[in-house]
Amino acid sequence: MPPQSSTQATTAKAALVTGASRGIGRAIALRLAADGYAVVVNYAGNAASADAVVAQIEANGGQAIAAQGDVADPADMQRVFELAQQTYGRLDAVVNSAGVMPYVPIAGGDLGEFDRVIHTNLRGSFIVLGLAAQHLSDGGRIVALSTSVIGKAFPNYGPYIASKAGVEGLVHVLANELRGRNITVNAVAPGPVGTELFFNGKTEEQIAHFVSLAPLERLGQPEEIASAVAFLTGPDGSWVNSQVLRVNGGYVF
């Protein structure tokens, strides 16, 4: 066995976060780094944003690398997982945050957009969760991002809701498939969160409507979703398994 690099030798724990160059994924990467994880910042296309996340983590005294890869491409993600192992010598947590959210009606809806959201959100989750199961050390943590909009059935959210309902199904099945390895598999389902992905394509009136839905009468912040992920990947989440944690300010179903 070749000797470990100095990076591997000094890494206490390591995490891979997909879709980590912006929005909720970025907040998760920063929070896990603050919690002591060395972080692999996965991104699809925006290298500058991913590098900025790495630079921020390093400026705060943490360890991070950027790794390009499309979550729906198995070869890309195999390479990303291997890079994580080669760089840090271990992998203790995987958070699949990458996703897209088009607005498509079911009647007469654009099949190309339907295929795109299923490709990234559901196929991507299937690939990432499967590779996580293969690469994680025993006792590791897997978290997938779902959505609280599943319970609302808003018009034009059909393909997005279908993709995320599938993600929740995968979480429950994988938790059972990993019996005996002490690996937890959970989902975090945010309500409306003030990110670029959320604001894109919405009018001021639509945004105000979403703000009014929860009893707290505001949008969530990416850091609040990251806190929930940190709970599931930290010591206090060790007995939580095969659950969907709906972090939504009281967004009633």
Chain segment 169-221, per-residue pLDDT in tens: 999 999 999 999 999 999 999 998 988 878 887 889 988 988 888 899 999 99
- Residue 205 is assigned to a structural domain of this protein: no
**Cβ-contact 94, 140 below 8 angstroms:** yes
Q: Is residue 1 part of a domain?
A: no
**155-158 contacts: CB < 8 A, separation 24 or more?**
155/105, 156/103, 156/104, 156/105, 157/103, 158/104, 158/105, 158/106, 158/109
Predicted pLDDT of residue 136: 97
pLDDT tens, position by position, 222-231:
999 999 999 9
Q: Are 51 and 68 in contact (CB under 8 A)?
A: no
Catalytic one of 43, 157, 160, 251: 160
Q: What is the mean predicted confidence (pLDDT) over 226-237? A: 98
**DSSP structural state of residue 31:** H
172 belongs to a structural domain:
yes
Could you tell me if residue 152 is inside a domain? yes
List Cα–Cα distances, 110 to 50, 77, 104, 114, 159, in angstroms. 31, 28, 7, 6, 10
pLDDT digits (tens, 9 = 90+) for 61-97: 999 999 999 999 999 999 999 999 999 999 999 999 9
For 110-145, write each residue's pLDDT tens digit: 999 999 999 999 999 999 999 999 999 999 999 999
Res 61: pLDDT: 97
Tokens at 87, concatenated: 């760089």
Q: How many domains does the chain have?
A: 1
The β-bridge partners of 78 are none
**Inter-residue contact 151 to 109 (CB < 8 Å):** no
The pLDDT of 144-153, averaged and rounded, is 93
Side chain identity at residue 131, one-letter code: L
- pLDDT (0 to 100) of residue 6: 39
**Any catalytic annotation for residue 160?**
yes
Find tokens 């505001």 and name the residue. 218
pLDDT at 200: 80
210 within a domain of the structure (yes/no): no
> pLDDT grade, residue 10 (50/70/90)?
low
Name, in order, each residue with C-beta under 8 angstroms of 149's C-beta and a sequence gap of 6 or more. Answer: 157, 160, 161, 164, 191
Q: What is the CATH number of the domain that holds 172?
A: 3.40.50.720
With bands split at pLDDT 50, 70 and 90, how would you rate the model's confidence at 40? very high
Q: Give the model's pLDDT for residue 104.
A: 95
The answer to whether residue 253 sits within a structural domain is: no
197 located within any domain = no
Number of Cβ within 10 Å of residue 39's Cβ equals 30
pTM of the complete model: 0.92
For residue 141, the enclosing domain spans: 11-191+221-247
CA-nearest of 180, 176, 186 to 237 is 186
Beta strands in 44-122 (DSSP E): 64-68, 93-96
